[in-house]
Structure 1
Amino acid sequence: MRIGEYKEIAKERLRGQWGINVGMIFLNSLLVMAIGRVSEMLNQGFVQGVIALLLNVFIIFAFGFAMYYVALFVVRGGRADIGQLFVVFQQKYYVPMLVINIVSTIVQYLVGLVIFIPVILQGGLAVYFAFVIGSGANSAQLLPLLGTAGFALLFLATFAIFLLVTSIISGLFRFAVYLKFDYPELAPMECIKKAWDMIKDRWGQFILLQLSFIGWYIVGALLLVVGLLWAVAYANTANAAFYDEALKEKAELI
């Protein structure tokens, strides 16, 4: 199936329910921001960073995974419902999804650390923590480094590689989450393994599908950022269609 066909499926399934899907993404964002503000109540930088990380790993992730569920539900002909925002907190899902999220977080940090080795050697660990983990160095500390042409080029090249690799990793774990929703009886690591079997020969098409939404994101950002909600709903549904097609083709692997 061509990339355009996944996008056509997404548009067809979203017809008549763009509003509820966009509204759920907006509400999801508000919930995430409200929970995230808990860490901002602390003035100590290190403690604040740790609390923010814990909130992301144990709570906030569930709302992101819920949007995967909504997109898959819509692709299969269902109508999105506000209550689905909390689907991951169900007993049968929460712990296994938490495990998948923790493994994903560890893998992305380790891969990021490896990719950023040249930057770390030149700029120090502070740069890595600032851009990958989100704590450790403020902009005033980084400006002198980023002001040098050599470091700027090195950082841009490294960051481009980082985005490419993390896109691949995110695809793998997105598939694992979809599989857990479809097959609750599967253990988290089984979901990850089977997700790899399903997507390993589809990386190129998956990346091209993500790149095909860049224009939508740019237009959405120009439309006072509100347009991004439509772009995200569209992309999420197209990604769910991509998974659904892969599942049909490789059902024997499950």
Structure 2
Amino acid sequence: MRLSISQIKKKALASLKGKWGISAALTFIIFLISTILPGIVEVILSGGVTEWANQTDTPLIADMVNILVSFLFIPLTVATYWFFLVIARWNNPKISEVFAVYKQWELSLKVIGTSILVGIFTILWSLLLIIPGIIKGISYSQVFFLLKDNPQLSALEAITESKTRMKGYKWKYFLLNLSFIGWAFIAVFTLGIGFLWLAPYVSTANATFYNELIAPQDHEDAKSPDLAI
């Protein structure tokens, strides 16, 4: 049965029952890491708080290290997606499991490489026009969920599989995420505090979308062309 957008959101809310606290806590932790860590790196590499406060340009080394940190942060971001997939499947995730992704260094490297490829492919399509880039970005949106369920897939295979399985679902995926825009405006007026609950809602809805519509598709029916792009 193909669920409607409202049904997907209702399922997401139902699966989040009793898990709002841990979901908001994880969202806050990820926010702190992603915003504070780059600042700490910049201060240290600038020579201290005084030097950092008086500088007009960020040191090149600080920019380079922050780029490296952003790549290292990718597995944590993806593991956060998986955290909400666990919730969408009516299980009880732990925040420690999100950080445990770094214990699987091969998987972490694959996730980083896949993210880079997705970014390159999306940028290449965007060079043609913005709309094709957006469409392709949506086509690749299921890559990391597929890697979670099928860790044997290579980066290119996961990208191709996502593109194939999203046929007929891209518009629904777009409308699903667009439906949260009103909540986003409300969250802004709460000085951003509302995002601690909105982000888990959106993430669980997207995980539910995958779990209900994308994951059930048979591998035998999916074609695997040579070029993932």
The TM tier, using the shorter chain, reads: 0.7 to 0.9
Q: Which sits farther off after the overlay, 175-184 or 104-113?
A: 104-113
Contact 2:12 2:88 in 1 (8 A): yes
Alpha carbons of structure 1 residues 88 and 32: separation in structure 2 relative to 1, 3 Å: same
Residues 1:251 and 2:227 aligned together: no
Report how many aligned residue pairs link the two structures: 206
Q: How does 1:44-83 map to 2 (within 5 A)?
A: 44=58, 46-56=60-70, 58-83=71-96
Aligned counterparts, 1:10-21, within 5 A: 10-21=12-23
**Post-superposition CA distance 1:90-143 (Å, at most 9, x none):** 23421111111111222344344444xxxxxxxxxxxxxxxxxxxxxxxxxxxx
| Pick aligned residue for 1:36 from 35, 38, 55 | 38
Quick one: distance in 2 between partners of 1:71 and 1:97?
17
Q: Which residue in the other structure is 2:97 paired with?
A: 84
Using the TM superposition, give the Cα deviation of residue 204 of structure 1 relative to its aligned residue in structure 2, in angstroms.
0.5
> Which residue number in structure 1 is paired with residue 29 of structure 2?
27
Partner AA of 1:103 in structure 2: L
* Correspondence for 1:127: none
Q: Is the 8 A contact 1:104 1:173 kept in 2?
A: yes
Q: Structure 2: any 5+ residue segments left out of the alignment?
A: 47-56, 223-229
Change (3 A) 1:54 1:112: farther
- Structure 2 distance, partners of 1:107, 1:53, is 20
Contact 2:140 2:162 in 1 (8 A): yes
Alpha-carbon distance in 1 for matches of 2:176, 2:30: 24
Question: For 2:20 and 2:137, how far apart are their aligned partners in 1?
Answer: 25
Counterpart in the other structure of 1:182: 149
In structure 2, the CA distance between the partners of 1:45 and 1:104, relative to structure 1 (3 Å rule), is farther
Please list every run of 5 or more consecutive structure 1 residues that lacks an aligned counterpart in the other structure.
116-161
Give the TM-score of the pair, scaled to structure 2: 0.80
The reply to whether residue 171 of structure 1 matches residue 138 of structure 2 is: yes
Rounded Cα–Cα distance in structure 1 between residues aligned with 2:8 and 2:42: 39
SS in 1 for 2:22: helix
Contact 1:28 1:85 in 2 (8 A): no
Determine the C-alpha separation between the residues in 2 that align with 1:231 and 1:203. 22
Higher helix share: 1
Q: TM-score, normalised by structure 1?
A: 0.73
Residue 165 of structure 2 is matched in structure 1 by 198
> How much is the aligned-residue C-alpha RMSD, in angstroms?
2.2
Tell me the alpha carbon deviations over residues 26-62 of structure 1, each in whole angstroms, 9 at most, x when there is no partner. Answer: 1011112233222464444655444333322x21212
Question: Sequence identity of aligned pairs in percent?
Answer: 26
